[in-house]
Structure 1
């Protein structure tokens, strides 16, 4: 009996650990490899932090969102609903109205998220040690300011709204600092050392990483419907469109080092 209790206790411990372990394994692809360094402290250009918190809907907005037959995640549309005010009228029996709020991208469904740690080359340093007898140290030094620009991979209506939803979803999935534009300033350096052997040239290439986000955007015409004292949303002419985006990782650089006896 005592043996059975021990086995049962061990099984419970394994089950308790299984969930976090699976979640951690699922995020392995978003962890920066050792070749990627965070240069937020060293970057001579102060990139603004992307702060896109999810809006908390007001009481009326929450009521309207709950009435919608299709999930609404667009922060700009939620902001408009937050600013909407409809007073209760005691003599509103029989009152009907339908207000057209426009065609909106309602939500974004992520299908695939991947990171290209060498999305765009931004710098190359080299050291010539062909005449040396000892190892020489090569360090990263950004020789020109570089602007890394992301964007959508296709044209789409209300592109800025779509970009915000895709950025939010990609930040949630990767837990990386993302922005559609980031800058690596001139003169940015890092203390990591790469050793160049005697009779060799050393080449240190630097790359800006970026997230490739792919998914589907749902559009619809949004109406505010008033029937007496009841308020609700009606969605008509619903369509979907596939979309992709490249979103740079802020203040991160991926390095590739190579030694060679001949110039490259």
Structure 2
């Protein structure tokens, strides 16, 4: 059973690496033509958003934060270039004019690392200390080796006190805080926020996080309850948004600047930050 689980994890990571490579090259369409992928890799492709066609497995990747209509245009052009049907089937999803939070989460995962800037999906800014972000997300890099299980994982968990209002589906913009750091460096999809006693959370999510049990217990003080933020589809920005720019954008959008704890961003500010973060990838 463990061997099968590891095989599936490696297959998922390989598919994700192909998607990341295509995104870095500004390629929107990925075609896998190997006719002997096997059931494990085939399942990994399906889970990743690829669709089996007569010409192979096809997936779409968009490394931008865009308005929904702009995404629809890219999808239509890609379909036309491949000689496939217009949007409406499994590969080319119909994009509603204003996607709901659940629709946006599904579309962003299928076309990831896309972010729909105008979708009705809550976006939180969450502070994280460098010592935890280095192991959890590999940023900032340090001399010590990152835990292997986190390096190949497609999902992660971050613990904090159970006194916030984060709920999935939502997005998280990660704010690196510390003496040498003040920047937004990545975006994740929040699929669930789980409140429980430290032992329960640690037992359930231990393999996906970097906190020790003592850390989780400390985060639970003084109420005795901690919160696990369970995230997927994390994308690091090539050029993080500096603290100086972040403060200026808060002021421009008339939102009080506070990043000491998770904060729900006003939709216009969230859209601006997403587009700036992903534009820095180009």
Higher relative contact order (CA 8 A, sep 6+): 1
TM-score norm. by structure 2 comes to 0.20
TM-score norm. by structure 1 comes to 0.22
Higher Rg: 1
More helix by share: 2
More strand by share: 1
